[in-house]
Structure 1
Amino acid sequence: MAESYITPRQTHDEFFPYSGCKEDQLRFLLRYAVLAPSHYNAQPWKFRLHSDGIEIIKNASRAALTVDPQLRELTISCGAAVRMIEVAARYFALEPQVIFPSDNQSDFLARIELIDRHEPSDQDALLFHAIKERQTNRGLFTDAIIPNEVTKSCLASARELGVELGFTHNKRLKMAFASLTAFAVRHQLSLPWYRLEFASWMRSSISLKPDGMTGFGFFASNLPSPLARTTMKWLNRGKQIGIFNKNKVITASPILAVISTDADSQESWINTGRLLSDLLLKLTTVGLSASFMNQAIQEPKLRKQVAKLFSCEAKPQLVLRIGVAEKVQWTPRMPVDDCII
């Protein structure tokens, strides 16, 4: 199979252009950036290549405006892509530097430059190889323990990025959060425009589209029927789906992780995404799965209750479920060239 025709997940790492120019090296790193997690697997990023750096641009045309009117989750997704570039660069013996623009209102989110040589560590290699293995898994999780060294490493990354991270397996907290989640799900699914937007990102297992997600894990423990997308559009099943998600939090989410920041700013959201990728890759290295449970955060009134529940003086940005689960189908990715402007 020719290198130019393979998908990002099939990239041959040994083809990295060590002797090439910086622009060639940066272009190669984008193969790992596009494997970052994103809301609805919308892949809402664009990249502008220069001879000495990459600019990360948000693609607002891929926003889910019903639940993300401020493009908060979209920006977090772009931050996750930034971290994937950082991890890949260090593996290939290059030291990246992330530079934020002075104008926080533009679509230009960050710039990455390769500023020095880097001596890759064993940890660098572990995180890099986890990029292709990481996947969002919305299934039912069994009990898990995060190794202490992984917890410490994730907390250290959070401090470095100025982001707060907390873990809990407290049953009382999970039950309270599960109730907030069920309430948020019922409310969202009562809105016809939310159902239409959500359904627009649903894909069947045989879809050829390079984005979106299957319905597995959102509202059933088994794969959805071919009519799932139509059902989502036209029927309000908020009560049943709310109960399903409530039970999933209580009985099939051994650990919850909460990421929060002091403020809702573009830079804070980018750093949230950087920490997100860091956390997910480190969990992958020890065989743990994760998925998002953000419905309550997407509702402004409930977001305040989430902050109070988890004792966050800051702004909660993401809640993740963590545990052990069987692998699921890989989500598709757009070709790298389609993401370059």
Structure 2
Amino acid sequence: MNTRIAEGIAQAARTAVEGALWAPSIHNTQPWSFGVSGDEICLRADPDRKLRVSDPAGRQMTISCGAALLNVRIALQALGYEPQMRRFPDPERPLLLATVRVRPGREPGEHTRLLHAEIERRRTHRSGFTALPVPDPLVDTLVTEAAAEGGHLMPIRSETSARVLAALTGAAQDVQSQDRLFVLELMRWARPPGSSRRDGVPAAGYPTDPRRTYPQHFAPRDYARGHEWGMAPDERVSASTGLVALLTTAGDDREDWLRAGEALQRMLLHASAYGLSVAFHTQALEMPELREFIRRHLCSGEAPQMIMRLGFVIDESESVRRAASDVMD
């Protein structure tokens, strides 16, 4: 390999990692680190950013890293390279989630360019949606996008099932808000106005006074904890629930979690390209007994990995990310 080609591959690897930083993560913990050596990218979980109270097994941490892995793959393909990936390549190194080798590829297709353009544009939503319904053809496409990565996106069409998920979310939120350890862990990732930190949920990332959503209300996280933080609610938004959906996988081991993150991010990027925003509600999935209830009664035995609402908004919330130098060696 000549020097020019090697330098191009090394630069592509660094660019791909920069794109990975924009992946969604639980409480914007950004629980990943990357190693770049020549033509190889290593994705590692960062245990210091793991939620030890609400995510002791590291399921949500691994899903977050899976979303970052999908960004790496899309970024490389958009640059004309082919990612050769191995998930969990070394059983002796459990924090090493994947390696990606950068190989010469081909000119990216239109769909790859579409997804790549949304990597830095996509945002997590934390309130209600407009009354504009999500078109069925778009929902069908999102189901296909998730399936391409081994995930199963289940739109919840039954009002009864949506009401059950909303009730379980509210119950979990109430229980967690009374648990001192849960509260302290959440506070660690809540950023006050003016904070210079580049992780966690900024005060401008959620409304000051969350309006109830209709027809079902999904309890939001309480990042402000009694402070007057947040952004003013947008009166142009009708506070619609939007379309409720579940992301599931057939299995429930670490590889399933990683693939769930890849499936989630692929459908999120496609949704963003068509102006669709997504709100996450993982409280019930952080309580084993409620997660098992959802698996048995709402997921046909598959493992629930994410509860979400999809809809259209007018203005999107802010987000922050760490610098590449903070996560890459």
1:114 alignment partner in structure 2: 102
Distance in 1 between residues matched to 2:207 and 2:305, nearest whole Å: 20
Partner of 2:271, secondary structure, is helix
Q: Which amino acid aligns with 1:285?
A: A
* 1:284 aligned residue: 272
1:18 positional shift: 8.1
* Inter-partner Cα distance in structure 1 for 2:223 and 2:104: 50
Query: Is residue 169–residue 254 contact of structure 1 (8 Å, CA) maintained in 2?
Result: no
Which ranges in structure 1 are unaligned for 5 or more consecutive residues?
Answer: 1-16, 233-250
Q: Judge conservation of contact 2:12–2:79 (CA < 8 Å) in 1.
A: no
Partner of 1:161: 149
CA distance in 2, matches of 1:301, 1:266: 20
Report what 2:295 is aligned to: 307
1:171 counterpart residue number: 159
Q: In the alignment, residue 66 of structure 1 is paired with which amino acid?
A: V
User: How many residues of Structure 1 are paired with residues of Structure 2 in the alignment?
Assistant: 303
- Aligned pair in 2 of structure 1 residues 78, 228: CA closer, same or farther (>3 Å)? closer
Deviations 1:123-166 (A, max 9, x none): 11111111121000102112344445543443334333332221
Change (3 A) 1:196 1:55: same
- Bigger helix share: 1
Structure 2: how far apart are the matches of 1:51 and 1:319? 38
Q: 1:75 aligns with which of 55, 62, 66?
A: 62
Residue 35 of structure 1: aligned partner: 22
Identity %: 26
Q: What amino acid sits opposite 2:181 in the alignment? A: W
Superposition misfits of 4+ residues, deviation over 6 angstroms: none
2:319 counterpart SS class: coil
Question: How many angstroms apart in 2 are the aligned matches of 1:253 and 1:164?
Answer: 21
What residue in structure 2 maps to residue 294 of structure 1? 282
Contact 1:288 1:324 in 2 (8 A): yes
Give the 3-state SS of the residue equivalent to 1:82 in structure 2: helix
Question: What are structure 2's unaligned runs of at least 5 residues?
Answer: 212-221, 228-238
Alpha-carbon spacing, 1:129–1:104, altered in 2? closer, same or farther (3 Å): farther
Residue 326 to residue 19, structure 1, CA distance change in 2 (3 Å):
farther
Distance 1:19 1:104, change over 3 A: closer
Contact 1:104–1:266 (CA under 8 A) maintained in structure 2: no
TM-score by length of 1: 0.82
Report the CA distance between 1:264 and its aligned residue: 2.1
Give the direction of change, closer, same or farther, for the CA distance of 1:40–1:104 in structure 2 (3 Å limit).
farther
Secondary structure, counterpart of 1:20 in structure 2: helix
Q: Distance in 1 between matches of 2:29 and 2:277?
A: 20
Is structure 2 residue 318 aligned with structure 1 residue 330? yes
User: How far is the alpha carbon of 1:51 from its aligned partner?
Assistant: 1.1
Change (3 A) 1:228 1:316: closer
In 1, the alpha carbon distance for the partners of 2:38 and 2:81 equals: 15
User: Bigger shift: 274-283 or 86-95?
Assistant: 86-95
TM (norm. structure 2) is 0.85
Measured in 2, the distance between the counterparts of 1:228 and 1:81 equals 24
Matched, 1:221 2:221: no
Query: Equivalents in 1 of 2:207, 2:176: separation in Å?
Result: 13
Correspondent of 2:77 among 90, 95, 108: 90
Q: Any idea what SS the aligned residue of 1:177 has?
A: helix
One-letter amino acid of the counterpart of residue 286, structure 1? Y
